[in-house]
Chains A and B, each alone.
Chain A
Amino acid sequence: MEISHHQIMPETAVITVAGRVMLGPESEQITTLVSNLLGEGTHAIIFNIAGVTAIDSTGIGRFIASYNKIAAAGGEMRITGATGYLFQAFHVCRLDTVFRFYPSLDEACKSL
């Protein structure tokens, strides 16, 4: 799994996740990064997951943990790049009723 981030506005960060988001210490980086960004004053986090090639139950759980951290801090979370199998995984788990998905980064930004 690869993870990187950049600030697109002073209080808004994009976290780009790619590869296999699965059980193991690698996927823990997602929630650690979210905690760090919130601690540094970031209010809104957009996940770009277009490069994710596989996700399992734990991987999905990392996004729930992230959502809970962001919500507890009064922030906003958006997801972009979830298509096909990836979106289906969130849909089956009924998380598309809670997470806000957008077809592009631009549209995710505009929603904030």
Chain B
Amino acid sequence: MAAANTILIVDDDPDIHNLLAAALPPEKYMIKDAYDGLEALSILEKEPYDLVITDVRMPGLDGLQLLRRIREARPDAKVLVMTAQTTPETVISSLRDHALSYFSKPFSLDAVTEIVDRALGAPDLPGDIEVLSAIPEWISLQLPCKLEIADRLIPFLREMATDLSALEREDVGTAFRELLMNAIEHGGHSDPRKTIRVDYVRTARAIVYKVWDPGEGFSFNNIPHAAVSNRPDAPFEHVEARNRLGLRPGGFGILLSRHLADELIYNQKGNEVLLIKYIEPVSGQPDH
């Protein structure tokens, strides 16, 4: 039988420890509890853990300071940040200090188990998202062309869009993920030595994601492997082209993204795309 994964949970709320213990049974996960950042650091100095899950707001050393201290000591440590009060600043700080992922309370037990399992199975490269610049209204990132990076980045950017409904956030996250996948796979040929650039821009009335890839671009007249090129009565038409080119099943990314976002705009070359989601103005709140 495989050894249980070791997880250090850091939160000043005992209820959260109980909840996480219910989601992570002892047969599979060996959990150690800490109730503030300093206690967590003391535990981590004695032995390493496969994963650290930390709250943000705690007395003494808070979760973001803890993340920074862990990163200084162990650049490859996997840390998940969870919080009940997401702000753009906490998301940005978590990205800068290479948290592996980020999630909000309250959470379902199933969701936590899934997040933890994905974190434990992730490659040991938490430093692969580079923050080029970041203010709450505009974040610029550089990422290696690896498909798994999309799932790592999306929880952070999803948390930035707190004024969208949960469903809208899922929709935008799915659309953005498809565009990232296309950039990584078609623009960067899944070569981790190449990089793509992502911008998240928050205006008064819209959230805009920009994805730039290092590829040659494309024309909508010449992508027979994409479902967007299919005739209306032939929804499988592109599958033959994908099989011929040895591409994975799929090809629906542009169609799905167009449906899930409000606007999708490509540049002339086809290696840069804007995904735009409009925000309903809050009644009585002046525009910027």
The reply on A8 being an interface residue by CB < 8 A is no
Contact of A88 with B253 at beta-carbon distance under 8 Å, contacts A93-B235, A98-B236 already known: no
The reply on B177 being an interface residue by CB < 8 A is yes
Task: Fill in one digit per residue for B3-30: 1 if any A CB lies within 8 Å of its CB, else 0.
Answer: 0000000000000000000000000000
Task: Fill in one digit per residue for A56-91: 1 if any B CB lies within 8 Å of its CB, else 0.
Answer: 111011101100100000000000000001001100
- Distance, CA A46 to CA B174, complexed state (A): 26
CB-CB nearest in chain B for A22 = B151
The reply on B106 being an interface residue by CB < 8 A is no
CB-CB nearest in chain B for A58 = B250
The reply on B181 being an interface residue by CB < 8 A is yes
Range of interface residues on chain A? Answer: 20 to 34
The SS class assigned to the A binding surface is helix
Distance from A60 Cβ to chain B, minimum over Cβ atoms (Å): 5
CB-CB nearest 10 A-B residue pairs = A61-B249, A57-B250, A94-B235, A61-B250, A57-B252, A92-B259, A58-B250, A57-B253, A93-B252, A65-B249
Interfacial chain B residues near A57, Cβ < 8 Å: 178, 181, 250-253, 256
Distance from B179 Cβ to chain A, minimum over Cβ atoms (Å): 11
Distance from B137 Cβ to chain A, minimum over Cβ atoms (Å): 28
Q: How many A-B residue pairs have CB under 8 A?
A: 66
B251/A88 in contact, CB under 8 A: no
A23/B256 in contact, CB under 8 A: no
The reply on A95 being an interface residue by CB < 8 A is yes
B252/A61 in contact, CB under 8 A: yes
The reply on B46 being an interface residue by CB < 8 A is no
The reply on B147 being an interface residue by CB < 8 A is yes
B255/A92 in contact, CB under 8 A: yes
The reply on B31 being an interface residue by CB < 8 A is no
Contact of A92 with B248 at beta-carbon distance under 8 Å, contacts A64-B239, A97-B235 already known: no
- Distance, CA A89 to CA B178, complexed state (A): 13
CB-CB nearest in chain A for B173 = A54
Interfacial chain A residues near B174, Cβ < 8 Å: 54, 56
Interfacial chain B residues near A61, Cβ < 8 Å: 239, 242, 248-252
CB-CB nearest in chain A for B232 = A94
Interfacial chain A residues near B114, Cβ < 8 Å: 19-20
B232/A60 in contact, CB under 8 A: no
Range of interface residues on chain B? Answer: 20 to 34
Q: Can you list 16 contacts pairing A with B, beta carbon distance less than 8 Å?
A: A19-B114, A20-B114, A23-B147, A31-B249, A56-B250, A57-B251, A58-B249, A58-B250, A61-B250, A61-B252, A64-B236, A85-B170, A88-B259, A92-B255, A93-B252, A93-B255
Distance from A38 Cβ to chain B, minimum over Cβ atoms (Å): 17
Most chain-A Cβ atoms within 10 A of its Cβ — which of B114, B232, B250? B250
Interfacial chain A residues near B249, Cβ < 8 Å: 31, 58, 60-62, 64-65
Interfacial chain B residues near A98, Cβ < 8 Å: 235-236
- Distance, CA A68 to CA B256, complexed state (A): 21
Which residues in chain B, 237-278, are within 8 Å of chain A measured between CB atoms? 239, 242, 248-253, 255-256, 259
Interfacial chain B residues near A20, Cβ < 8 Å: 114
A89/B256 in contact, CB under 8 A: yes
Which residues in chain A, 15-53, are within 8 Å of chain B measured between CB atoms? 19-20, 22-23, 31
Interfacial chain A residues near B181, Cβ < 8 Å: 23, 56-57
Picked from A22, A54, A97, the residue with its CB within 8 Å of the CB of B170 is: A54
List 16 extra interface pairs beyond A56-B253, A57-B250, CB under 8 A.
Answer: A56-B177, A56-B250, A57-B178, A57-B251, A57-B252, A57-B256, A58-B249, A60-B252, A61-B239, A61-B248, A61-B249, A68-B236, A85-B167, A85-B171, A93-B235, A98-B235
